[in-house]
């Protein structure tokens, strides 16, 4: 790992961690399962930082601070990711932490 930064936790205890490498302008995405196994889900992303799980535990959001992208993944019950899509690309300002509320709004 580079330097784990932010985490998001599902209701049943699966942990997701962003893992930026600020000097290289890149990052990774990790999952720590209920069995405590640490699994690299994605590498060679942009500078991963903010991360959030939707209130219904069906979506994971990860932002790339320097690149100003917010990615959305579908989550299954085991914490597996699918259907990655670019949700938002901001034209200005870097990104940091994220949260969702009970209505599903994403705060960046």
pLDDT at 104: 84
pLDDT mean over 8-26: 95
Domain locations along the chain = 7-100
| pLDDT per residue as tens digits for the range 54-77 | 999 999 999 999 999 999 999 999
Question: 69, 99, 56, 33: which is closest to 41 by C-alpha?
Answer: 33
| First vs last C-alpha separation in the chain | 24
10/38 Cα distance (integer angstroms) = 15
Average pLDDT (70-95) is: 95
Chain position carrying tokens 């302008």: 25
């Amino acid at each position: 790992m580079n330097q784990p930064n932010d985490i998001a936790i599902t209701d049943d205890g699966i942990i997701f961690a962003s893992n930026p490498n600020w000097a290289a302008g890149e990052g990774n995405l990790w999952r720590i399962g209920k069995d405590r196994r640490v699994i690299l889900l994605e590498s060679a992303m942009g500078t991963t930082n903010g991360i959030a799980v939707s209130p219904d535990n069906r979506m994971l959001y990860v932002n790339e601070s320097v690149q100003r992208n917010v990615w959305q993944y579908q989550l299954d019950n085991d914490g597996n990711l699918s259907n990655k899509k670019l949700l938002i690309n901001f034209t200005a300002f870097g990104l940091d932490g994220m949260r969702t509320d009970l209505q599903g709004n994403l705060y960046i």
